[in-house]
Chain A
Amino acid sequence: MSSHSLSRIKSSVLRQRDPAWTREFEAILKAYEQAGGRPDVLQTPRVASAVISGNQVLAVNQVEGVNIEAEELEHGIRARITVAPGTKVDYPVHLCFGMIAAEGLQEIISEFEIGEGAEVGFLAHCTFPNAVDLKHVMDAHIHVGPGATMRYSEGHYHGPHGGIEVLPTTHAQVDEGGRLESEFSLAHGRAGRLEIQFEVDVAARGVVELVAKAYGSAEDEIKVNEVVRLNGEGARGLTKTRVAVRDQATSEVYTTAEGNAPGAVGHMDCTEIVRGEAMARNVPVVVVRNDRARVTHEAAIGSVSKKELETLMARGLGEEEAVDIIIRGMLG
């Protein structure tokens, strides 16, 4: 454990005596719970975790083999999370990001270093329950070492106002035999303006799975840009996108998969549901640079299946309620 992260933990412990800290901590935990998180887990010693509100690091807990360093910036934080080679982390690392304020900017600059052969999961909840004019920017760099596995799941809760911009950008490198699974979900509250950028390079026998799910309404704008480069022999990649838009919301999904080596296999799977005056677009780009690589894609854009809808209506559900259940099921 670095001296820097130790001092950070000490400072967050010291802050617990501060009433302002207590108020902020309780508020963010309440929002975290609304977003589907379990606040008690954040206070469990055997679970590594970090709680970030605005630009404050409210709490950090580390477990053996997992090092979390966090530094406060003017409008956010910079974090470096390392998992020691060979470490198998029993419980997912819990991350809570959010802002209770209605307005402002939160920048999360993060770096994940997963050592050779390590296995770790992350469960991130991002909560902005009162957002009216708020921007949440994430800039992440991920390195999954040889034979290592990283599973990252991020869920968002945004409240009803829609005055939020969420701009996560990720650059990832998966080394030989490594595995990266990433899931982003924004299905509660208004999406606002969401723009996901994800680029990943995959070495030999590496695996990457990117899942993005979002639900837009009113004038929400959803844009997903993903690029998967399968550079090593036998590398595999999957992008799975599920977006539902209604009212005047828009959804644009741009995915690129490159098969650049023998035996590389990539697949892009996009489903978008459109209701009302909403608009959805899917642009898959397939690039193959080796005659033994294979990249495929499938896309379906349209309304809710009539059969699914009428099946639920035959159980007594109204049409809107049935549509909502189908969409929420799809978005998981």
Chain B
Amino acid sequence: MLRVEDVWVQRPGAEVLRGVNLTVRRGEVHALLGLNGSGKTSLALTLMGCSGYEPGRGRVFFDGRDITDLPVTERARLGLTLAWQEPARFEGLPVADYLALGMKRPSRERIEEALKAVALSPLAYLGRTVNSALSGGERKRIELAAVYAMQPRLAILDEPDSGIDVLGIEDIMALIRRMADEGTSVLLITHRDEMAEAADTASLMCGGTIINTGTPAEVREYFARRCRPHENLLGSQPWGEEAGGTYQRVVAEGMRDE
């Protein structure tokens, strides 16, 4: 369904993707693992066609069609969508309208069903707007509900568990299983082992590229065994965008040397 071939993306001051190769098959939930700054979100934005993330090299295929140069809207109309890691705020946009935007045949029933799918009460949320009065976790759930309501062919979920309380993780995992059961393929970006368990396959990103693919268990084991020991190399160096770059290079080069 989705095939990424040797994609490179340059952002101001950094090469965020360096030769990414990835395949997500129809009906599959594919987990994308990796540390902060490893390029997971950059890959998500590249796949969605967001501005500033145009590949300098490589191609992206969706259902066999080359979508590398298509704008966001056209990709969405082909059935590809993205749930942002940090969802946008929309002043004055009612929740119901927001959920209906991407639906092929908007209906009250489907809107309510989408809210229930993310464990939100339609009664409590249909009269509200997608603005900053909602907590980060509420906006996250509404973002996921909007993606679910759209019934896409492939949903990229960028850390759907971030900002969600511990009890909510089960709700999100149930949603992912439900989407898969209803025919939506999922590219699931996550840090959590238990989230990756919901996937059929997994890949590990490091330093802007994918360094391992297999079952979630295999990739998690690879990650634990091959990546974590390198943490000691950092000493007290802070984690973050810049510091992470050094760390990721160490890890990535270590992997490749193996």
Footprint of B on A, CB under 8 Å? 305-308, 310-319, 325-326, 328-332
Contact = CB atoms under 8 A, between A and B. Distances in A.
Interface residues of B, number: 25
Interface stretch (B11-19, B86-94, B227-235): B86-94
B16 to A, nearest CB: 17
Given A308-B88, A314-B82, A318-B73, 7 more contacts: A308-B89, A313-B71, A316-B101, A316-B102, A317-B102, A319-B71, A325-B93
Contacts of B114: none
A46 to B, nearest CB: 25
B129 A310 contact: no
B158 to A, nearest CB: 11
Name the residue among A306, A315, A325 with the largest chain B CB count within 10 angstroms.
A315
B101 A315 contact: yes
A316 B104 CA distance: 10
A317 B129 contact: no
Nearest to B80: A314
Interface of B: 48, 50-51, 71-73, 75-77, 81-82, 84, 87-93, 97, 101-102, 129, 146, 150
10 contacts: A310-B48, A314-B48, A315-B102, A317-B101, A319-B73, A325-B101, A326-B93, A328-B92, A330-B92, A331-B92
Nearest to A321: B73
Contacts of B129: 329
A219 to B, nearest CB: 26
A314 to B, nearest CB: 5
A310 to B, nearest CB: 5
B84 A313 contact: no
A235 to B, nearest CB: 26
Nearest to A242: B91
A313 B90 contact: no
Grouping DSSP codes into helix (H, G, I), strand (E, B) and loop, the A interface class, with mixed when no group exceeds half, is: helix
A26 B50 CA distance: 50
B197 to A, nearest CB: 27
A314 B81 CA distance: 5
Contacts, number: 60
A326 B90 contact: yes
A310 B76 CA distance: 10
A311 B92 contact: no
A245 B92 CA distance: 18
Contacts of B51: 306, 310
A302 to B, nearest CB: 14
A316 B109 CA distance: 21
Nearest to A327: B92
A312 B92 contact: no
Nearest to A308: B88
A319 B91 CA distance: 18
B102 to A, nearest CB: 3
A313 B72 contact: yes
Contacts of A326: 90, 93
B87 A330 contact: no
Nearest to B156: A314
Given A307-B84, A310-B50, A312-B101, A317 B73 contact: yes
Nearest to B89: A308
B72 A310 contact: yes
A241 to B, nearest CB: 13
Name the residue among A314, A325, A331 with the largest chain B CB count within 10 angstroms.
A314
B93 A329 contact: yes
Contacts of A332: 92
Given A310-B50, A316-B102, A329 B91 contact: yes
B76 A311 contact: no
A312 B91 CA distance: 13
A229 B91 CA distance: 28
B150 A315 contact: yes
Contacts of B91: 329-330
Contact of A315 (B50, B87, B146): B146
A313 B88 contact: no
B22 to A, nearest CB: 19
Nearest to B45: A310
Nearest to B73: A313
B133 to A, nearest CB: 14
A316 B78 CA distance: 9
